[in-house]
Amino acid sequence: MTTTTMADGSVNGDTGSRRFSILAGRDINRETYVEEWAEAGLTVADSPYDPQPSLRIVGGEVVEMDGKVRADFDALDRFIADHAIDLAVAEEAMATSSHQIARMLVDINVAQSTIRRLADGCTPAKLCEIVRHMNVLEMMMGLGKMRVRKTPANQAHVTNWRENPALLAADAAEAALRGFAEIETTVRVARAAPLNALAILVGSQSSRGGVLTQCAVEEAFGLRLGIKGLTSYAETLSVYGTERSFVDGDDTPWSKAFLASAYASRGIKIRFTSGTGSEALMGYAEQCSMLYLEARCLLVTKGAGSQGVQNGSISCIALPEALPGGVRGVLAENLLASMLGLECASGNDALASHSDLRKTAKLMLQMIPGTDFICSGYSAIPKQDNMFGGGNFDAEDFDDWTVIQRDMQVDGGIRPVREADAVAARRQAAQALQAIYAELEFPPIGDEEVEAAALAHSSEDMPARDMVADLAAADRFLEGTANLSDVVRALHRSGFEQAAENLLEMGRQRVAGDYLQPSAIFEDGFSVISAVNDRNDYTGPGTGYRLEGETWDALQRIPQQKSPRDFIDAQMGDPLPNLAEISTAKVGASANEIVVAVGPAYGRSLVKTIGELDHEEVLEALLTGVAEEAFYGRVVRVYHSADCAAIGHAGARLSGSGIAVGLQSRGTTVIQKRGLAPLNNLELFPQSPSLTLEIYQAIGRNAARYAKGLSPLPVGVKVDNGARLRLIVKTALLHRREIEDIHEKAPQELYFRWEPDV
């Protein structure tokens, strides 16, 4: 028995309750839940120690902010006051009630730009006060409007435990094919970074040009990779909401801002990283709520001139999720980022729960409104290969994701792909990297390694490599003079012309710098979209981003989808030769007869039940059952209806005994008695997929027993909970086919050439 110790000391399971014991063993009870503790920073959105909003400006300088005078400002206050707040609008913004701004966020008649303008003049405490008025539905409305890029997108994580380059390239290629606009890798061993970055760069560009890539490593090392041309963006620039945490992170707002400019000076897109919970985890939350500290992070981010932020608690996600309102708090921080005009890569990144239900429920808060990147890292690889520590959603969830998109007509940034296309893209990527390794004299990638990468699911499917030799090559590559043009030349010489073109194009785009603008990504064909030329213009129904046209066509066309015309192929066939129509059926005179009334298509256009029993054998089974009770069966066809009750009802009126079995082509069966209302009956068997020939025979027997005036035990049919789920489309199409055969014609007597085996 599974037991769980509760906060009050009681143990779930100790009463012997089987219900509670089963609940205790569920995934949701593998999580940690903790009560709020404001003094330790363990409160999500509202600590009693959070400052109240205030702002005083004298002579163009902030002299008081959120209850603190300038002389008491710490480094973050100072940075925010001097760089992040638009003083021209601040007095108006602070004088507008927070409740009013919250209402504007959900008011479709208020444009994004109006709220942006006010948010630019808000202090951290003011921003928190605004979103505290909002429930998650209202925040989702606000997020859909405030997202800076009109078109939502997604980011993938591609790593593997063995640091296998061919597999990295293949997984990056598949992720690119699946439509991820950005791909991030990282390392198990730091020195692997240059070759890992190269692998996902080549893999993605050989599959779909314009995917932005990055490699998450230590700040200075990351910049070095960017300078070398191996990455086109970086989001490892972490910021924290208190001075002590910031300094423990070995940075200040100024050093981070300098780093941002350093990246931009080399044409590299950056976004900062922040998120609820990090300060509490680092021990310096200063008794403030996670949301208030995040608001400070976001203003530092904005003040530093970062175009965007990765927030949504990221690697700390389990901490807010342990607290009341944690998931709401994470949505609130996404909304605040968007209100400030920051591109938001909205979490849904690190493993946040054991429960699929809980994970999916949380995802909806970002997926339905749409964010710039719904995941700041969707693990496009299996969990065991995720060197970020395991993703909340991974490669095994691809189909769930694409089906949810199709269900809701919502663009979650992942396209469904066909297996053959994915394998082809993977193979080509691995081959392209193989060629580069050969040209640049890195440790060779063998043909069997390429093929393994094409077909692999995880690094367990890959042959081993000499990691020491790979790391030595990575060192040489980083220190050497080989640059992007050497890689382009190597690709071209080896016949990978499209990959060479795409890689070169990444270089040309770096020269132009268009992807440095807020929330910039490339659509197919290197067409850049950002907040500048793809500004979110949502103002209610019919405006903003709509999933329609070609994109909706592509997202709904999942490979699992079948043509409705093929669905009932197994049930269609030639009319049974031994089932002949004789004449119009008359009311029988014999009290020893049971009528078996079949539907209009039975044994004609349809020849099998939904459970794929031959119509011929079903009839034989029913008549055998009847014969076992020394009755004889008459077969009639009902033409005027395809409805099981109506078929049975018509049969009962024709039956000399007054008892009939009604049988639809899909196999649904009823035992009916003359005189009962059509929707009443003796026994009904709606679970047609579960019916067997033995059951049909028992139905025939019971029909005869009713005719004898007996009260037989009803025929037992096992309940299959999943049958309706699996077969409902088939059911609908079979019924539709039966309806096609309806005629205004009286029931017809059928001759079924068959001899009972009794």
Partner 1 sequence: MTDDGKDKRENASHAADGDYPLYTNRSDTLAAASGRPLRDLSLQKTLTEDISSEDYSISAETLRAQAEIARDAGYPQLAQNLERASELTAVPNETLLEMYEMLRPGRCSFEEYEALAQRLRDEFDATATAAFVEEAATVYRERGLLRRELE
Q: How far apart are CA 44 and CA 324, in angstroms?
A: 7
Instruction: For residue 404, give the H/E element and its range.
Output: helix 398-408
CA dihedral (731, 737, 740, 742) in degrees, to 10, reads: -70
Which stretch in 14-22, 83-91, 330-338, 345-353 sits in contact with partner 1 by CB under 8 A?
A: 83-91
Residues 472-491 that bind partner 1 (CB under 8 A): 483-485, 488-489
Inter-axis angle of helices 136-146 and 326-339, nearest 10 = 30
Q: How far apart are CA 179 and CA 555, in angstroms?
A: 11
Cα-flanking dihedrals φ and ψ of residue 503, to 5°? Answer: -65, -40
- From the list 559, 636, 556, the residue with the least C-alpha distance to 602 is 636
Which residue's CB is nearer to partner 1, number 267 or number 412? Answer: 267
Q: Tell whether residue 516 is a contact of partner 1 (CB under 8 A).
A: yes
Shortest distance, CB of residue 498 to partner 1, whole angstroms?
Answer: 11
Q: Tell whether residue 554 is a contact of partner 1 (CB under 8 A).
A: no
Q: Judged by CB under 8 A, which of 57, 532, 547, 727 binds partner 1?
A: 532
Q: How far apart are CA 199 and CA 212, in angstroms?
A: 13
Which residue's CB is nearer to partner 1, number 322 or number 484? Answer: 484
Stretch 308-347: interaction string toward partner 1, x if CB under 8 A: ---------------------------------x------
- Using a 10 angstrom Cβ sphere, with 0-12 exposed, 13-18 middle and 19 or more buried, the burial of residue 577 is exposed
Q: How far apart are CA 264 and CA 588, in angstroms?
A: 92
Tell me how far CA of residue 330 lies from CA of 45, 290, 294, 399, 604, in angstroms.
Answer: 9, 9, 10, 26, 60
Shortest distance, CB of residue 17 to partner 1, whole angstroms?
Answer: 56
Q: Can 157 be counted among the known catalytic residues?
A: yes
Q: Tell whether residue 69 is a contact of partner 1 (CB under 8 A).
A: no
Q: How far apart are CA 155 and CA 414, in angstroms?
A: 9
Q: Tell whether residue 409 is a contact of partner 1 (CB under 8 A).
A: no
Q: Judged by CB under 8 A, which of 14, 258, 283, 572 binds partner 1?
A: 258
Three-state secondary structure along 594-651? EEEEECCCECCCECECCCCCEHHHHHHHHHHHHHHCCCEEEEEECCCCCCHHHHHHHH
Q: Tell whether residue 114 is a contact of partner 1 (CB under 8 A).
A: no
- From the list 199, 191, 195, the residue with the least C-alpha distance to 168 is 199
CA dihedral (423, 428, 431, 435) in degrees, to 10, reads: -170
Q: Judged by CB under 8 A, which of 61, 91, 250, 421 binds partner 1?
A: 250
| Residue in 157, 615, 649, 735 annotated catalytic | 157
Q: Can 376 be counted among the known catalytic residues?
A: yes
Which residue's CB is nearer to partner 1, number 219 or number 385? Answer: 219
Q: Tell whether residue 422 is a contact of partner 1 (CB under 8 A).
A: no
Q: Tell whether residue 68 is a contact of partner 1 (CB under 8 A).
A: no
Q: Tell whether residue 60 is a contact of partner 1 (CB under 8 A).
A: no
Which residue's CB is nearer to partner 1, number 304 or number 733? Answer: 304
Which residue's CB is nearer to partner 1, number 358 or number 492? Answer: 492
Which residue's CB is nearer to partner 1, number 255 or number 556? Answer: 255
Q: How far apart are CA 475 and CA 458, in angstroms?
A: 26
- Using CA of residue 615, residue 617, residue 623, residue 629, what is the dihedral sign? negative
- From the list 185, 270, 184, 208, the residue with the least C-alpha distance to 235 is 270
Find how far residue 159's CA is from the centre of its chain: 20
- Using a 10 angstrom Cβ sphere, with 0-12 exposed, 13-18 middle and 19 or more buried, the burial of residue 15 is exposed
Q: Can 8 be counted among the known catalytic residues?
A: no
Which residue's CB is nearer to partner 1, number 75 or number 136? Answer: 75
Shortest distance, CB of residue 88 to partner 1, whole angstroms?
Answer: 10
Stretch 292-311: interaction string toward partner 1, x if CB under 8 A: ----------xxxxxx----
Q: Tell whether residue 261 is a contact of partner 1 (CB under 8 A).
A: yes
Shortest distance, CB of residue 220 to partner 1, whole angstroms?
Answer: 5
| Residue in 307, 376, 459, 672 annotated catalytic | 376
- Check if the beta carbon of residue 321 is closer than 8 Å to that of residue 329: no
- From the list 361, 305, 365, 288, the residue with the least C-alpha distance to 334 is 365
Which residue's CB is nearer to partner 1, number 53 or number 303? Answer: 303
The pairing of strands 55-58 and 233-238 is unpaired
| Residue in 238, 289, 310, 655 annotated catalytic | 310
- Using a 10 angstrom Cβ sphere, with 0-12 exposed, 13-18 middle and 19 or more buried, the burial of residue 569 is exposed
Q: Tell whether residue 252 is a contact of partner 1 (CB under 8 A).
A: yes
Q: Which one-letter amino acid corresponds to residue 707?
A: A
Q: Judged by CB under 8 A, which of 228, 271, 673, 705 binds partner 1?
A: 228
Which stretch in 16-24, 76-84, 359-367, 421-429 sits in contact with partner 1 by CB under 8 A?
A: 76-84
Q: Tell whether residue 524 is a contact of partner 1 (CB under 8 A).
A: no
Find how far residue 156's CA is from the centre of its chain: 12
Residues 647, 625, 602, CA angle at the centre, nearest 5°? 35
- Using a 10 angstrom Cβ sphere, with 0-12 exposed, 13-18 middle and 19 or more buried, the burial of residue 527 is exposed
**Strand partners for 684:** 670
Q: Judged by CB under 8 A, which of 101, 197, 230, 257 binds partner 1?
A: 257
Which residue's CB is nearer to partner 1, number 228 or number 737? Answer: 228
Shortest distance, CB of residue 298 to partner 1, whole angstroms?
Answer: 12
Q: Can 672 be counted among the known catalytic residues?
A: no
Q: Please identify which residue in the block is written with the tokens 């997929």.
A: 689
Shortest distance, CB of residue 254 to partner 1, whole angstroms?
Answer: 4
Shortest distance, CB of residue 488 to partner 1, whole angstroms?
Answer: 5
Tell me how far CA of residue 422 lies from CA of 202, 583, 652, in angstroms.
Answer: 16, 59, 58
DSSP-H helix ranges across 480-573: 484-493, 497-512, 549-556
Which residue's CB is nearer to partner 1, number 17 or number 113? Answer: 113
Kindly state the greatest CA–CA separation across the chain: 109
Q: Please identify which residue in the block is written with the tokens 């003049």.
A: 121
Q: Tell whether residue 251 is a contact of partner 1 (CB under 8 A).
A: yes
Shortest distance, CB of residue 92 to partner 1, whole angstroms?
Answer: 16
Which stretch in 31-39, 512-520, 583-591, 632-640 sits in contact with partner 1 by CB under 8 A?
A: 512-520
Q: Judged by CB under 8 A, which of 4, 54, 96, 255 binds partner 1?
A: 255
Q: Tell whether residue 190 is a contact of partner 1 (CB under 8 A).
A: no
Stretch 263-282: interaction string toward partner 1, x if CB under 8 A: xxxxx---------------
| Residue in 184, 251, 411, 449 annotated catalytic | 184
| Residue in 279, 294, 321, 349 annotated catalytic | 349
Compute how many residues bind partner 1; rule: CB under 8 A.
68
Q: Tell whether residue 712 is a contact of partner 1 (CB under 8 A).
A: no
- Check if the beta carbon of residue 306 is closer than 8 Å to that of residue 237: yes
Q: Tell whether residue 58 is a contact of partner 1 (CB under 8 A).
A: no
Stretch 492-511: interaction string toward partner 1, x if CB under 8 A: x-------xx--x--xxxxx
Which stretch in 191-199, 530-538, 564-572, 663-671 sits in contact with partner 1 by CB under 8 A?
A: 530-538
Q: Tell whether residue 471 is a contact of partner 1 (CB under 8 A).
A: no
Which residue's CB is nearer to partner 1, number 182 or number 629? Answer: 182
Q: Can 155 be counted among the known catalytic residues?
A: yes
Which positions are annotated as active-site residues?
A: 155, 157, 184, 235, 310, 349, 376
Q: Which residues are at the interface with partner 1 (CB under 8 A)?
A: 74-75, 78-79, 82-84, 86, 113, 116, 219-220, 223-224, 227-229, 243, 247, 250-252, 254-255, 257-267, 302-307, 341, 483-485, 488-489, 492, 500-501, 504, 507-514, 516-518, 528, 530-533, 535
